[in-house]
Amino acid sequence: MSLIIEVAIPVPLFNTFDYLCSQKASIGARVKVPFGQKKVTGIVLSYKDKSKFDKLRSVEEVLDQEALLSKEILDFLFWSASYYHHPIGEVLSNAIPKNLRIGKPAVIKKETTINDNSSTNPLKQTSEQKKAVVDVLKYENSFHGFLLHGVTGSGKTEVYLSITEWLLKKEKQVLVLVPEIGLTPQMIVRFEERIKAKVVAVHSQLNETQKQDAYLMAKSGEAKVILGTRSAIFTPIPKLGLVIVDEEHDGSFKQQSNFRYSARDLSFMRAKLANIPLILGTATPSLETLKNVVDQKLTRLVLSSRPGGAILPEINLIDMRSQASEALSIPLISKMEHYLKEDKQVMLFINRRGYAPVFYCTECDWRAECNNCDSTLVYHRNINRLKCHHCGLETVPESSCPSCKNHDLKILGYGTERLEENLESFFPDTTVIRIDRDTTRRKKAFTTHLEKINSGESCIIVGTQMLAKGHDFSNLAFVGILDVDVGLMSLDFRATEHLAQLLVQVSGRCGRGKYKGEVNIQTRYPNHPIFNFIRDSQYTKYANHLLTERQDAQLPPYAHQALICANSKNKDAPEKFLSEVANLINNIDMDSVEIWGPVPAVIEKKSNYYYFNLYLQSTNRNELHRVIKTFYKHLETIKISSTVRWFIDIDPIE
């Protein structure tokens, strides 16, 4: 006798599909089913007595004897799909590793072994660390959210390790989310060295078999610590006892394509459903998190100083209005000389890769621009090409101006590559290590660079924001921060928040040893209030000041936003579509939801597609979500041009 089962299928549709099934199929198991002309892997959601449809097709094969997705993880995935208004079939398939998605058997290929490195001596904890550990463990068996707010280098990781060790004794598992493992290999090393149990890392540099194995070892309960990037939030972990989100302020917890979820935000629901504590750790809490502290949704635990006598660096400004050079000022060079002479490492931070961002004509107003995007081309000297950082277009630089035939074409501005070249001429006897996406494209390159830096040998490090993340460079004594002024002038309401976080994080790279470090920031706006706060290590004060501004302007986190973004190769189509969407929403009976737009995106044209945005905002989150649900119900009343692609982004951050 055949049963009717409801199956979620990875297609961008909100409905699920009914099939006949003659074998036993558990809820949460994978099934191979015919779909159109294809065979796809779906997930069994429920059994049914009858279906709305007559001619049901049959399941071809039941792929799992036991459920792959437990009820607990299914509940979490359903909640996520509903919150982000994303089709459940896609949410489920996004949550499982590719091999399982394509129907391979759910068996572990290669077990990870337990590291039996004689573990490093546990440190004598500071009283603040002890308090943090005790406070979290008070909530060992119930949901409670914490902000572990510790200055850079204050020993947050030590707190994570200590709580983890305790929970493992109770047979629990721990999930640790980090922004980008590739950039912070130290975190894995420290867990592996310390924890005498299986630690699995889940990140994009693993191959598909490794990803599947890590997933299945977490699911079976064998792996005790699961350390991963954002998608690890969906790992099935039957004995989950704690969720940690390290560097919670980091933007990479938000997925910016297809299923646009925030792993940081979802961690609350994950911990709530499992009834366990949650720790968000950072030196520079996001405004969302600080508001949660104010609203008593999170308890703040503070680590106010660096253990072992290390002190925070001194921060000074260099006023670029009185400097002739646009990149390396005279005071900066002399500071670098000073520290290099003492055999220290120095680091320069600039958030732009390539050689120079502008290639222009000295006679007319021509500058090299991308044909496919609204953006200028960046000159890369080592390959002698102009490159678009949005679509990847590469061209050979013109030898004369295409507009006026003038032969005098010049470059303007600085990227990491040009800085590296300049430094080599200023400091011919010092090693310069450049770290950006161009020098670390190969998998091992970044690790090799880090090893060189960690050897402690005196050198100059030049890099982009890749350097801002939790690295612990013990011989680094000086950090120069270049070109921050764009962040002060930006129209994005989050720009100053992000700049403050970046300045604190980059500064935090130095002075980790016994040596007080120094940070110099070059700016043409030395009177901007941000610098007073940063100089006095008053991030929280500045963040509170920004929170007040957001409250006055009724911006997030005091209001909730959703963005509907449409794009098309046809210039008028997205705007027309979004105007109809706006009309539809305006006809919904609602209060407190405001509509803004359609407006062109900041970069309107990218890879020959035109982008338009429509913003919805409300101080009432439930009302906003109710309106979006109603909008979806009536969506078929809008005729959508076949050239238009669109998506919805809940709590957008860009």
| Cβ 433 vs Cβ 460: under 8 Å | yes
According to CB under 6 A, which residues from 464 to 523 bind ligand ADP? 470, 472
125 binds, among ligand ADP, Zn ion, none (CB under 5 to 8 A by kind): ligand ADP
CB closer to ligand ADP, 12 vs 308 = 308
CB closer to Zn ion, 315 vs 388 = 388
Lay out the sheet containing 144-150: strands in order across.
199-202, 225-228, 173-177, 240-246, 277-282, 144-150, 299-303
Q: How far is the CB of 522 from Zn ion (least distance, A)?
A: 29
| Cβ 415 vs Cβ 443: under 8 Å | no
Answer yes or no whether residue 307 interacts with ligand ADP by CB under 6 A: yes
Answer yes or no whether residue 204 interacts with Zn ion by CB under 5 A: no
| Helix, strand or coil, per DSSP, at residue 546 | helix
- Report how far residue 77's alpha carbon sits from residue 98's, in angstroms, rounded to the nearest whole number: 17
- Enter the tokens of residue 421: 């070249």
Answer yes or no whether residue 22 interacts with Zn ion by CB under 5 A: no
Interaction mask 24-63, ligand ADP, x per CB under 6 A: ----------------------------------------
Q: How far is the CB of 357 from Zn ion (least distance, A)?
A: 14
- Enter the tokens of residue 231: 């998608």
Answer yes or no whether residue 184 interacts with ligand ADP by CB under 6 A: no
Of 123, 134, 311, 404, the residue at the interface with Zn ion (CB under 5 A) is 404
Of 158, 417, 420, 651, the residue at the interface with ligand ADP (CB under 6 A) is 158
Q: Of the listed pieces 30-38, 102-110, 155-163, 391-399, which binds ligand ADP according to CB under 6 A?
A: 155-163
- Enter the tokens of residue 209: 């078999």
Answer yes or no whether residue 370 interacts with Zn ion by CB under 5 A: yes
| Cβ 406 vs Cβ 367: under 8 Å | no
User: Which bin fits 643, alpha (ψ -120 to 50), beta or left (φ > 0)?
Assistant: alpha
- Enter the tokens of residue 15: 């409905």
Q: Of the listed pieces 81-89, 404-412, 512-520, 569-577, which binds Zn ion according to CB under 5 A?
A: 404-412
Closest residue to ligand ADP, judged by C-beta, is: 155
- Report how far residue 518's alpha carbon sits from residue 507's, in angstroms, rounded to the nearest whole number: 8
Q: How far is the CB of 390 from Zn ion (least distance, A)?
A: 4
Q: How far is the CB of 215 from ligand ADP (least distance, A)?
A: 27
Q: How far is the CB of 607 from Zn ion (least distance, A)?
A: 6
Residue 524 backbone phi and psi in degrees, to 5: -95, 0
Q: Most distant CA pair in the chain: distance in Å?
A: 86
- Enter the tokens of residue 382: 């080592």
CB closer to ligand ADP, 154 vs 440 = 154
Answer yes or no whether residue 313 interacts with ligand ADP by CB under 6 A: no
Of 30, 156, 449, 469, the residue at the interface with ligand ADP (CB under 6 A) is 156
CB closer to ligand ADP, 514 vs 571 = 514
307 binds, among Zn ion, ligand ADP, none (CB under 5 to 8 A by kind): ligand ADP
Q: How far is the CB of 157 from ligand ADP (least distance, A)?
A: 3
Q: How far is CA 268 from CA 277, 279, 295, 296, 494, in A?
A: 9, 10, 15, 14, 22
Q: How far is the CB of 154 from ligand ADP (least distance, A)?
A: 4
Cβ burial of 121 (10 Å; 0-12, 13-18, 19+) is exposed
Q: How far is CA 469 from CA 120, 190, 281, 600, 641, in A?
A: 24, 16, 13, 33, 43
Beta bridge partners of 95: none
According to CB under 5 A, which residues from 336 to 365 bind Zn ion? 361, 363-364
129 binds, among ligand ADP, Zn ion, none (CB under 5 to 8 A by kind): ligand ADP
Of 16, 51, 112, 125, the residue at the interface with ligand ADP (CB under 6 A) is 125
Answer yes or no whether residue 373 interacts with Zn ion by CB under 5 A: yes
Q: How far is the CB of 542 from ligand ADP (least distance, A)?
A: 20
252 binds, among ligand ADP, Zn ion, none (CB under 5 to 8 A by kind): none
Answer yes or no whether residue 376 interacts with ligand ADP by CB under 6 A: no
CB closer to ligand ADP, 282 vs 617 = 282
Q: Of the listed pieces 83-91, 117-125, 233-241, 329-337, which binds ligand ADP according to CB under 6 A?
A: 117-125
- Report how far residue 230's alpha carbon sits from residue 177's, in angstroms, rounded to the nearest whole number: 6
CB closer to ligand ADP, 463 vs 470 = 470
| Cβ 569 vs Cβ 607: under 8 Å | no
CB closer to Zn ion, 337 vs 363 = 363
DSSP classification of residue 225: E
Cβ burial of 48 (10 Å; 0-12, 13-18, 19+) is middle
CB closer to ligand ADP, 308 vs 392 = 308
Cβ burial of 512 (10 Å; 0-12, 13-18, 19+) is buried
- Report how far residue 432's alpha carbon sits from residue 461's, in angstroms, rounded to the nearest whole number: 6
Q: Of the listed pieces 110-118, 123-131, 256-264, 540-548, which binds ligand ADP according to CB under 6 A?
A: 123-131
Answer yes or no whether residue 153 interacts with ligand ADP by CB under 6 A: yes
List, as one string, the DSSP characters of 424-444. Answer: HHH-TTS-EEEESTTTS-STT
User: Which bin fits 382, alpha (ψ -120 to 50), beta or left (φ > 0)?
Assistant: alpha
- Enter the tokens of residue 472: 């612990």
- Report how far residue 526's alpha carbon sits from residue 520's, in angstroms, rounded to the nearest whole number: 12
| Helix, strand or coil, per DSSP, at residue 275 | coil
639 binds, among ligand ADP, Zn ion, none (CB under 5 to 8 A by kind): none
- Report how far residue 191's alpha carbon sits from residue 178's, in angstroms, rounded to the nearest whole number: 13
364 binds, among ligand ADP, Zn ion, none (CB under 5 to 8 A by kind): Zn ion
What residue ranges bind Zn ion (CB under 5 A)? 361, 363-364, 366, 370, 372-373, 388, 390-391, 393, 401, 403-404, 406
> What is the binding site for ligand ADP (CB under 6 A)?
123-126, 129, 150, 152-158, 307-308, 470, 472
